[in-house]
Each structure stands twice: as C-alpha cells, then as structure tokens.
Amino acid sequence: MTKKVSGLSTLLLLGTIVACSTNSLLKKDIPRGELLYRQKCRNCHNLVQPNKFSDEEWAFELTDMAHKSGLTKEESELIWGYLASHN
C-alpha cells in the first residue's frame, strides 16, 4: 500500500512539474532556479548541463530527487523553470 501511495504521489508531482512551464515563471525566477540547482543538486551529484536531458527526462529526475532530498514544491518549480528554460 505504501508503494502505491508513494508511486501515486510521484506521478502527481511529475504531472505538476510537466504542466508547469517557463511561461508561468517570471524571467527573474530562472536565476533563482539555477542557484537552487547548483546548491541543492551539487550536494549529491556532479552537475550536468540543463540541455543534456529533455523536459520529460528532467521532470522524471526532478520528481524522484525532490522527494528524496526534501525539496519544497516552490524549490522544485524554480529548479524546473531553470532546467526547462534550456530546452
């Protein structure tokens, strides 16, 4: 049951991230997303160029990592805006 709930919440977050576009973020938010990406993701990973992955691939990775790292919804959306702005 826990795996089903976790999987469902992951799918819902993934849908939210994919539905969120850079159009809904202000241009001033993209540097904030970049800063968060560099600060939060670098703790565990070597950073990759945002254009290395498609929006769908980033959405999947970000959804998984946001859950594991405890990113807030706002932090996830800001990072998503930064990553998506390069595709």
- The pLDDT score that the predictor gives to residue 19 is 54
Average pLDDT over residues 69-78: 94
pLDDT tens per residue, range 4-36: 555 555 555 555 555 554 456 678 899 999 999
DSSP string, 8-59: HHHHHHHHHHHH--GGGS-TTHHHHHHHHIIIIITTTS----GGGS-HHHHH
Structural domain harbouring 80 = 2-84
Q: Which residues contact 76 (CB under 8 A, 6 or more apart)?
A: 13, 17, 62, 63, 66
Pseudo-torsion of CA 39, 42, 48, 54, nearest 10°? -70
What's the pLDDT at 11? Answer: 53
Total of domains in the chain: 1
pTM comes to 0.72
